[in-house]
Amino acid sequence: MKHRFSIWRYFLDGAPEYLARHYWWAYLWKPAIWFFDHQPIINCILFGQYQRLLDQTLKQLDGHLAGRLLQLTCVYGKLTPKLVKTRHNDALYIVDVCQEQLQASLRKLKPAEQDHLIATRMNAENLAFSNDSFSTVLIFFLMHELPARARKNVLLETLRVLTPGSRLLITEYGYLPDKHWIYRFAPLRQQLLFWEPFLDGFWREDLTEELQKAASHWNKKITLKQKKLVFNGFYRVVCYQVD
């Protein structure tokens, strides 16, 4: 069958179709990886809330840094270097389906720190780690970029690799922010949903309920331990215990 030329197909190369189709310009195209990884750009995308979100994420992780720590997919900004600095006798595991993203994460580290980052190309929907192999998993702004089916798969895999007694930390958009000025200002909401086509589905999903379903699949249970709303609930940082 003949396909019309579409630029995103060029970026498929092992990436999930949703990622190539909707986010090639943000994560898979080399100039974009350079462009977006600048603090003013990141801050602009997050409506000036980046530092608060980073601080809250690191604060909630504090005290849960012992044992194996997995960062589920690369992120722009300072998170990965900050996490690596906490891994004194240990390593931070990081996975991403895009090799250039993993290389960009490694480039942010000093040579001596690079030994403390185990970066592996992997699809988060199908992790090549054993069951119960991590004490902490951190997911920073990944969930809203996934279609519903992929979100379910990622949560299932996350709950599979988390050991009983472990922590899951998720930094994300909050629940449907229909009272927030950004949501109420239709042109802005439409722009946001144009660039983030799966955000509306994520907004309307009960994250805790989805996590409970994923946990019970593996005969585990999750308990919400901490929840911090940022920017009047437009964003959230949530920490769950897995048993």
Q: Which residue has the tokens 């480039």?
A: 107
Task: Using CA atoms of 201, 207, 185, 43 in order, give the dihedral in degrees to the nearest 10.
Answer: -110
Quick one: 36 or 218, whose CB is closer to ligand SAM? 36
Q: Which residue has the tokens 């299932």?
A: 156
- Applying CB under 6 A, does 96 fall inside the site for ligand SAM? yes
As measured in angstroms, the least distance from the Cβ of 122 to ligand SAM is 6
As measured in angstroms, the least distance from the Cβ of 88 to ligand SAM is 25
- Applying CB under 6 A, does 27 fall inside the site for ligand SAM? yes
Residue 5, number of CB atoms within 10 A of its CB: 6
Q: Which of 101, 136, 158, 166 binds ligand SAM (CB under 6 A)?
A: 101
CB 237 within 8 A of CB 53: yes
As measured in angstroms, the least distance from the Cβ of 142 to ligand SAM is 4
What span, in angstroms and rounded, lies between the C-alpha atoms of 26 and 106? 19
Pairing between strand 222-230 and 235-242? antiparallel
- Applying CB under 6 A, does 157 fall inside the site for ligand SAM? no
Residue type, 214: A
Q: Specify which residues 154 forms β-bridges with.
A: none
- Applying CB under 6 A, does 124 fall inside the site for ligand SAM? yes
Pairing between strand 134-140 and 69-72? parallel
Quick one: 58 or 96, whose CB is closer to ligand SAM? 96
Quick one: 120 or 223, whose CB is closer to ligand SAM? 120
- Applying CB under 6 A, does 98 fall inside the site for ligand SAM? yes
Chain-centre distance for alpha carbon 230: 17
Quick one: 221 or 234, whose CB is closer to ligand SAM? 234
Quick one: 144 or 221, whose CB is closer to ligand SAM? 144
CB 76 within 8 A of CB 42: yes
Quick one: 103 or 130, whose CB is closer to ligand SAM? 103
- Applying CB under 6 A, does 94 fall inside the site for ligand SAM? no
Contact set with ligand SAM (CB under 6 A): 16, 19, 27, 73-77, 96-98, 101, 123-125, 140-142, 145, 150
